[in-house]
Chain A
Amino acid sequence: MKTIRRWGGFRERNDVAQAVNPDGLTVRRGSHRLTFLALAAVLVGLGLAALALGPVAISPDRVIATLFGAGDGVESAIILQIRLPRLLLGIAVGTALALAGASLQGVLRNPLADPGLIGVSAGATVGAVLVIVVGERFGAGLPDALRPWLLPGAAFLGAGVVIAFVFALARRGGETSVATLILAGVAVNTVAGAIVGVMVYISDDQQLRDLTFWTLGALSASSLQTTLIASAIALLTVPAFIRGTRALDLFQLGERAAFHSGLNVERAKVVVALATAVSVGAVTAAAGPIGFIGLVAPHLARMIVGPSHAFILPTAVMLGVALILAADLAVRLAVPPAEPPIGLATSIIGGPFFLWLLIRNRGRLHA
């Protein structure tokens, strides 16, 4: 007998009600408050750890003192100049990838969609890498005020072109084919890999150092300015995603039934595609392509809080940020003072998870 356990889900229900059906199937419902509180506590802990731990360990009370302006010179420099921007970028990356992944999976009714898999991160990477290697030659005439925006701008363009391309290619008879979308993503990832390879080949030593993290991503490789700009852009797209929770619920009925239920389907898809291109473009510009968070976080969220996107999105964000911060701590503490790329840690978790999803969903890829 199969048992389904879920917590909460319905808007007027806050009590913990339990319904046991004749065949023994149990649906447990109640508030998600406990889940949210637990995740929030984990996040606060990880956030403090992100500020405290590293090659120079700083005790939590000194961290808090420094945050309130009472730290000494070294502590202030480490926390405010290095670890705080890094924490901010981690939050932006986790948020952007989780929201983009959850929304893509919702729109496509398929748990295998992910900004990395369909090539959006690769498009952003190509945009950013082109700016790093050849941008200096063509961007020299640009006013100083616009220069910091060149990298996230190019990454957004790359991401936008890819998402428009793969969605257009996968559209068939009014519905979007996920199989085609993912295959298109494979092709885009291959081409993007080749372009990055060419850029690495023709780049000089300094550029090569800037480029290395583009293979696997890192939270610490960008300038403070780029980090702040990218994080701000990514966090500004949050309302666009959050406003779409009802649309994502309706997409679960199929695109035609979603329209019958009052959803402007094409506009909703454009909003998700645009928000994904902007947010994934921005965080990829600052942190490189970090894989699998957009796949793992929404999926775990769905397992914990059920099918309603009003709960999936916030839960996925908390899980995505937690995963990023944990992965960043892991690479920071693994072999100090060296620091393996964070993408290595997310791929070690994400790769097997993706395989497990494939096996679990055999036969559903055709949707």
Chain B
Amino acid sequence: MLEARNIGLTLGGRPALTDVDLSLSSGEITAFVGPNGAGKSSLLNCLAGSLRPDRGSAFLDGAPVLNIGAEELARRRAVLEQEPVSQAPFTVAELAELSTPIDVSPVDASRLRHNAIVAVGLSDLSDRSILTLSGGERHRAHMARALTQLAAGELTSGTPGWLLLDEPTSSLDPRHQLTILTAAKRATIAGSGVLIVSHDLTLAANMADRIALMRDGRVVAFGAPSEILTESVLEDVYETKMQINRLAQGDWAVGPCYS
């Protein structure tokens, strides 16, 4: 269980998070959606332990994340940052293995890395320097790094961990959006909890078991897509005319009204 209890945070004089109470369950995909500046990434980083809230705390299985050491925390949750940086010319394979704890044997690390690279569809490019890749390919390489870390954490700690993804699909084409989401879905089937921050409402509605709708640093609605997604709630949050459609095969199509 990954929880936010009464979290409050001010960034640059502006309230970024106010009274956030939320509890995420393993084995599910939870999506954070909401307008720019709603506090989605800040909340993700508080839950990941890399941002210290001014009030309240994040808890991982009942323990405050800030009390868990960096090394132990890395075994229990992996993070894909919104804008991963690396100017060093690591190959895709080297990058994918970079966040793996050192006590994982080279054989295991190599196997987990290989699986992750296959899962993000980069097998053909695994010996290429990441500096020569396109933005989307590089993003997938970092996703492979997060997946390897997650699998290695499960291997060394014996329990499935958490995968926290900050806008994992924003730079990807439709095919590779599905590739990444399938990998995330597979992680939940294996027992992990997945958190996705996204602007893509259609993606959230179709893939997430639960959606937290955020605005101005608060969670204004939290529940299964069918429970909380209504046009009026979305219009209130996004301050623009929205439409929600259920397509013939059951898929959701959610977005602004264009006409």
CB B16 to nearest CB in A, in angstroms, measures 13
Question: What is the total number of residues of chain B having a CB less than 8 Å from a CB of chain A?
Answer: 37
CB B134 to nearest CB in A, in angstroms, measures 12
Q: How far apart are the CA atoms of A27 and B124 in the complex, in Å?
A: 13
B89 adjacent to A29 (CB under 8 Å): no
CB B155 to nearest CB in A, in angstroms, measures 14
Which residue from B48, B79, B86, B132 sits with its C-beta under 8 Å from A25? Answer: B132
Q: How far apart are the CA atoms of A306 and B127 in the complex, in Å?
A: 13
With A252-B90, A254-B81: A2-B50 Cβ-Cβ less than 8 Å: no
CB A174 to nearest CB in B, in angstroms, measures 8
Which of A6-14, A67-75, A132-140 has 4 or more CB atoms under 8 Å from chain B? A6-14
Interface size class of A (residues with CB under 8 A): 20 to 34
List of A residues within 8 angstroms of B247 by Cβ:
none
| Interface: B202 (CB within 8 A) | no
With A109-B87, A260-B78, A262-B70: A25-B128 Cβ-Cβ less than 8 Å: yes
A249 adjacent to B75 (CB under 8 Å): no
With A2-B132, A259-B50: A253-B86 Cβ-Cβ less than 8 Å: yes
B98 adjacent to A264 (CB under 8 Å): no
List of B residues within 8 angstroms of A306 by Cβ:
89
A262 adjacent to B101 (CB under 8 Å): yes
CB A319 to nearest CB in B, in angstroms, measures 19
List of A residues within 8 angstroms of B85 by Cβ:
109, 253-254, 257
A11 adjacent to B132 (CB under 8 Å): no
CB A195 to nearest CB in B, in angstroms, measures 36
CB B116 to nearest CB in A, in angstroms, measures 14
CB A65 to nearest CB in B, in angstroms, measures 46
Q: In residues 58-92 of chain A, which contact B (Cβ within 8 Å)? A: none
B98 adjacent to A10 (CB under 8 Å): no
| Interface: A146 (CB within 8 A) | no
Residue on A with the closest CB to B70? A264
Q: In residues 162-191 of chain A, which contact B (Cβ within 8 Å)? A: none
| Interface: A355 (CB within 8 A) | no
Main secondary structure of the interface of A (DSSP, over half): loop
| Interface: B115 (CB within 8 A) | no
Q: In residues 240-264 of chain A, which contact B (Cβ within 8 Å)? A: 246, 249-250, 252-254, 256-257, 259-264
B149 adjacent to A21 (CB under 8 Å): no
With A4-B89, A262-B71, A307-B89: A253-B98 Cβ-Cβ less than 8 Å: yes
Q: How far apart are the CA atoms of A254 and B79 in the complex, in Å?
A: 13
| Interface: A308 (CB within 8 A) | yes
| Interface: B24 (CB within 8 A) | no
| Interface: B106 (CB within 8 A) | yes
| Interface: B129 (CB within 8 A) | yes
| Interface: A224 (CB within 8 A) | no
B93 adjacent to A10 (CB under 8 Å): yes
With A257-B81, A307-B94: A262-B129 Cβ-Cβ less than 8 Å: no
List of B residues within 8 angstroms of A261 by Cβ:
74, 98-99, 149
Residue on A with the closest CB to B89? A307
With A12-B107, A29-B127: A262-B87 Cβ-Cβ less than 8 Å: no
Which residue from B70, B75, B101, B107 sits with its C-beta under 8 Å from A259? Answer: B70
With A250-B98, A257-B84, A307-B89: A264-B71 Cβ-Cβ less than 8 Å: yes
Q: In residues 86-117 of chain B, which contact A (Cβ within 8 Å)? A: 86-91, 93-94, 98-99, 101-102, 106-107, 110
A21 adjacent to B125 (CB under 8 Å): yes
Proximity bits, B56-86, A CB within 8 Å = 1, else 0 = 0000000000000111011100110100111
Most buried by B among A249, A252, A257, A264: A257
Binding site for A on B (CB under 8 A): 45, 48-50, 69-71, 73-75, 78-79, 81, 84-91, 93-94, 98-99, 101-102, 106-107, 110, 124-125, 127-129, 132, 149
